[in-house]
Amino acid sequence: MCRDASHRALYNTRPNHRCDSVEADPRMSKTAAKANSKLLHEVEKLREKIRYHDYRYHVLDDPEISDAEYDRLTNRLKEIEAAHPELITPDSPTQRVGGAPREGVQTVRPLTTHSPTMSCATSTGAFVN
């Protein structure tokens, strides 16, 4: 039985199917199977890189890449998952919001005011409550 959930999702096969390789799915040509195998490999590599850089940034506070490069990785993953929703997994970096705070981050109570806060002036110059 194939233990790889993302492989099962990619090939839309039964959960108890038996296979040793991507080409085992008889509904796909070898060319299509090879293309999908490359796509699955790219998705797995992107997720691995994104998780690594998330850890470097959020936990170690020591990023190795620029925000632009990080955005390029996440946008590519989002692009692939949008085109192939069967590749989306619950643990994909595109499916979560944030993570645990860095060790040492202190919790503070929010400031409260006893009078209403005035907002900025509107385009007509009037202030809005």
> What is the chain's mean pLDDT, rounded?
76
Tokens at 52, concatenated: 């690594």
Alpha-carbon distance of 6 to 14, in angstroms, equals: 12
Q: What is the pLDDT of residue 125?
A: 60
CATH of span 5-95 = 1.10.287.610
Q: At what angle do helices 30-54 and 67-83 cross, to 10 degrees?
A: 140
- CA 85 vs CA 39, 40, 57, 103, 127: distances in Å: 12, 12, 28, 35, 47
What is the Cα gyration radius of the chain?
23
Question: Between these two residues, 22 and 100, which has the higher pLDDT value?
Answer: 100
Q: Would you kindly state where each structural domain of the chain is located, as residue ranges?
A: 5-95
Q: What is the pLDDT of residue 14?
A: 42
